[in-house]
Amino acid sequence: MLILGLVFVQMKYLQQNFNNIRVTPPFKELHWLRVLERIKFQLAVLVFKCRNKTAPQYLADDLQCAADDDSTTRLRSAASNKLIVRQSRLSTAGDSAFGVAAPRLWNCLPTNVTSARTLPVFKKRLKSHLFKISYTL
């Protein structure tokens, strides 16, 4: 389902293979996401479920809202739905860990996507956002 540990070079290789066999136009017509955007989609859906308490507790424990942190209560970020991005010790494996990659991705999403109230609405907005990024409409 999720390929968090996949190196960017490997992702680039996979995408080049897809491009070489000319699947990009059908992907675009079918409104399918590319490999990297699909992984981002799955990760963002998992974060949404964690925030709405429908994901396993051990995953939700890795995420911390900026509003919940005592040191940020007076900042503008406390009023937003941003997550705190933890520092990782390893730049290779550490950055792809759920506790680091998930908040980083969530904080990069536009507000209209992260402010969705239900999962179907969130998925629709997220897919449209990632599709625009992937195919630069």
What residue type is assigned to position 127 of the chain?
K
Whether the pLDDT of residue 57 is over 70: the answer is yes
In the prediction, which pLDDT does 16 show? Answer: 65
Kindly list the distances between the CA atom of residue 84 and the CA atoms of 19, 65, 72, 108, in Å, as whole numbers in the listed order.
36, 6, 10, 12
Query: Which one is predicted more confidently, 97 or 115?
Result: 115
In the prediction, which pLDDT does 119 show? Answer: 96
The number of angstroms, rounded, from the C-alpha of 47 to the middle of its chain's C-alpha atoms is: 8
pLDDT tier, 136 (very low <50, low <70, confident <90, very high otherwise): confident
Whether the pLDDT of residue 85 is over 80: the answer is no
Q: What 3 state SS string does 33-91 have?
A: CCHHHHHHHHHHHHHHHHHCCCCCHHHHCCCCEHHHCHHHCCCHHHCCCCECCCCCCCC
- Residues 71-81: tens digit of each pLDDT: 555 555 555 67
pTM of the model: 0.71
In the prediction, which pLDDT does 56 show? Answer: 87
> Could you give the angle at which helices 98-108 and 35-51 cross, rounded to 10 degrees?
100
Q: Are 34 and 134 in contact (CB under 8 A)?
A: yes
In the prediction, which pLDDT does 61 show? Answer: 84
- Residues 109-130: tens digit of each pLDDT: 999 999 999 999 999 999 999 9
- Residues 22-56: tens digit of each pLDDT: 556 677 777 788 888 889 999 999 999 999 999 88
